[in-house]
Amino acid sequence: MNNPDDFEEWFRRRMRRLPYSDPWPFGDAFDVFRDFEKMIEEEFKEFTARIPKEYVRERKLPDGSKIREWGPFVYGYSVTIGPDGKPIVREFGNVQKGRYGPQVKEEREPLVDVISTDGEVKVVVEIPGVEKKDIKLHGTEDTLTISVDTPERKYFKEVQLPDKVNPKDAKSSYKNGVLEVTLQKIEKKKKLKGEPIKIE
């Protein structure tokens, strides 16, 4: 009885056997379920229409038929406690809240952790599946921008730094899918221009 109409007909027959009963007292409930199902179908159509073409592909099954697949869709968040004792929530992935429901971005936001010590700011970024040469870093005294643009992977994140830093003295390394960038803090009076950062 996978078809809702089959269930409805079966339920009607059962109700007819009951004495002093309307043959179909739950008809309005089924109408509500059908309307809800139609609404979900429309929402899914709108959502899939907004998906970048890179996230839609067809796969051939052993019997020769084809199925359409979407994804990967990634959404997550990390929670850390800042130096002031307040929680810091950072989102990552390629799905974001939008005005008309979830929005899928072409680039994926990587998981980022920012650690501030007395003299430096360390940024740890998870960007698996890419080569070091594909990672582009750009630093200013207030931000660090990480980007990767390859046919297989696209990442983008602009990180707001908790303190002013000197991007010229930045040190970075990439190993096993984890990028670490260490930036030296500067005095608040100094103002420096943005600089590209080389990965060692």
pLDDT at 134 over 70: yes
The percent of residues in the chain predicted with pLDDT above 90, rounded, is 24
Model confidence at 95: pLDDT above 90: no
Decide which of 108 and 4 is more confident: 108
Write down the pLDDT at residue 5: 57
Which pLDDT does position 28 carry in this prediction?
A: 63
Using the predicted structure, report yes or no on whether residue 152 has a pLDDT greater than 90.
no
Q: What long-range pairs does 101-107 form, CB within 8 A, spacing at least 24?
A: 101/43, 101/46, 101/47, 102/47, 103/50, 104/50, 104/51, 104/52, 104/55, 104/73, 105/52, 106/52, 106/54, 106/154, 107/147, 107/149, 107/154, 107/155, 107/156
Structure tokens at 10: 């079966």
Question: Contact, 161 vs 188, CB < 8 A?
Answer: no
* pLDDT higher than 80, residue 177: yes
**pLDDT for 32-66, tens place per residue?**
777 777 887 777 677 666 666 766 777 788 888 88
Q: Using the predicted structure, report yes or no on whether residue 136 has a pLDDT greater than 90.
A: yes
At 180, the pLDDT band (50, 70, 90 cuts) reads very high
**Which domains does the chain show, CATH number per domain?**
4-49 (no CATH), 106-196 (2.60.40.790)
Residue 122 has pLDDT above 90, yes or no: yes
